[in-house]
Amino acid sequence: MPVGTVYFVGAGPGDIGLITVKGLERLKQADVVLYDRLVNPELLAYTRPNCEKVYCGKLPKHHILRQEQINAELVAKAKEGKTVVRLKGGDPGVFGRVGEEAAELAKHGIPFEIVPGITSGIAAPLYAGIPVTHREYGHSFALVSAHGKATEPQVDWASLAKMDTIAFYMGVANLPLICDQLLAHGKRNDTPVILIRWGTMGRQQTLEGTLETIAKKAEEAAFSNPAITLVGDVVALRKTTNWFEKKRLFGQQILLASDGTETEFAQTLRAEGADVFEFPKWKLVKKEIAHYVFTNLSSYEQIVFVSSESVHFFFAALRSEKIDVRTIKAELYARTPSAKRALEERGFCVSDGQQKGKTLVVGEEAVENEEWCLTHEVKQEETSQLLWERMKEEADVRTVIFPTVASVHRLLAMSDKAWLKERTILCFDDETKEVARTYGVFARCIEKETLIDYLARER
What's the length of the chain? 459
Residue 90: CB partners within 8 Å, gap ≥ 6?
10, 11, 12, 13, 38, 96, 117, 118, 119, 120, 121, 123
- Please pick, among 36, 91, 259, 275, the residue that the annotation labels catalytic: 36
190 is known as an active-site residue: no
- Which residue type, as a one-letter code, is found at position 359? T
Buried/exposed 159-196: b ≥16 CB within 10 Å, e otherwise = ebbebbbbbbbbbbbbbebbbebbeeeebeeebbbbbb
170 is known as an active-site residue: yes
- Which residue type, as a one-letter code, is found at position 418? A
- Please pick, among 58, 247, 286, 379, the residue that the annotation labels catalytic: 58
164 is known as an active-site residue: no
Cβ atoms of 59 and 293 within 8 Å: the answer is no
C-alpha distances out from residue 5 to 39, 115, 218, Å:
21, 13, 44
Rounded CA gap, 427 and 447, in Å? 8
Angle (nearest 5°) at CA 162 between 160 and 164 = 100
- Please pick, among 88, 91, 163, 170, the residue that the annotation labels catalytic: 170
**Residue numbers annotated as active site:** 36, 58, 170
